Amino acid sequence: MNDDDVDRLVVDAGERWRAAQRPARSVDPALFMDGRVVADERRRIATPLALAGVIVAIVASFAFGRWSAAGPTVGTGPVATPSVVAPGTSGSLGPSQTSRSAAACDVTRPVPVFVPPKPFLRTPPANYASDWYGSEHLWTMLAYSGEVWQGWVAATPPVLPQKTFWWSADWKPAAEPEPTIIVTGRRLDGPGAFTFGPGTNASADFGTAMLVGIDIPSYGCWELTARYRLATLSYVVAVNR
């Protein structure tokens, strides 16, 4: 056997291996949206009035604490600045168009309950009426009866700003203060999608979490999916009027 014979054997093995591979997942442009792009897109598509509305919404959200209208709150720690928005999706549906949808939403309950490894809390503090849900690579906190959110901010377009909190045994806050977590939303009962990320860190009585601020653009039944490193976690939330 000479060098050419070896080459041929390995070439054949490589070709067979490639032929057995399934096609790669398609590329989603939503992966590539960050704050700078958002700014560019807003400059391109938004009217000055709409921009003023967004500013009012942000100011109002901080002034009245609406970021945490339905979910857990944090006493200290930075608030996530949403840095990814899918342009063109957030203003397409008004609340009045979708108010009936959330009632029939099959929200995700924290079943099976996840018990995190040490040193994380085995259960969330009782005042949240919630359990952990997910796996050690990515988990979140869900209300016993599932998440139902409300607390719209009058803005143009209308949005429901919300904080989402995520934990992972793979995440080291000191090494990665702004975790590369991405949260996507997909409306199950109508058109709509969003993507936000990366996250920041937030500490409270539930420990230190990855925090991703999201803007939900319409009422309805939404599936949220977080991706952090190789882990993915989804749950369904009802967004009510």
- Where does residue 41 fall: left (phi above 0), alpha (psi -120 to 50 degrees), or beta otherwise? alpha
Q: Which is nearer to another protein, 73 or 232 (CB)?
A: 232
Exactly one of 28, 39, 94, 104 binds another protein (CB under 8 A); which one? 28
Exactly one of 125, 146, 227, 234 binds another protein (CB under 8 A); which one? 227
Q: 10 Å Cβ neighbour count for 92?
A: 14
- Residues numbered 58 to 117 that lie near another protein (CB under 8 A) are none
177 touches another protein (CB under 8 A): no
What SS3 class is residue 196? strand
188 touches another protein (CB under 8 A): no
* Contact yes or no for 196/84 (Cβ under 8 A): yes
Span interacting with another protein, options 10-18, 113-121, 142-150, 153-161, rule CB under 8 A = 10-18
Task: Give the CA distances from residue 142 to residues 2, 62, 101, 165, in Å, rounded to whole numbers and listed in that order.
Answer: 63, 24, 21, 10
- Report in angstroms how near the CB of residue 7 gets to another protein at its nearest: 6
45 touches another protein (CB under 8 A): no
Exactly one of 21, 47, 76, 127 binds another protein (CB under 8 A); which one? 21
Distance CA 14, CA 18 (A): 6
12 touches another protein (CB under 8 A): yes
Please identify which residue in the block is written with the tokens 């109508």: 190
Q: Which of 30, 32, 54, 31 is nearest to 42 (CA)?
A: 54
Q: 10 Å Cβ neighbour count for 56?
A: 14
Exactly one of 74, 153, 159, 182 binds another protein (CB under 8 A); which one? 182
What SS3 class is residue 84? coil
Span interacting with another protein, options 61-69, 200-208, 211-219, 229-237, rule CB under 8 A = 229-237
Site string for another protein, 142-171 (x = CB under 8 A): ----------------------------x-
Angle value at C-alpha 172, between 25 and 183, nearest 5 degrees: 40
Please identify which residue in the block is written with the tokens 């945490």: 68
7 touches another protein (CB under 8 A): yes
- Per CB under 8 A, residues contacting another protein are 1-3, 5-7, 9-14, 16-18, 21, 23-25, 27-34, 37, 40, 170, 180, 182, 227, 229-230, 232
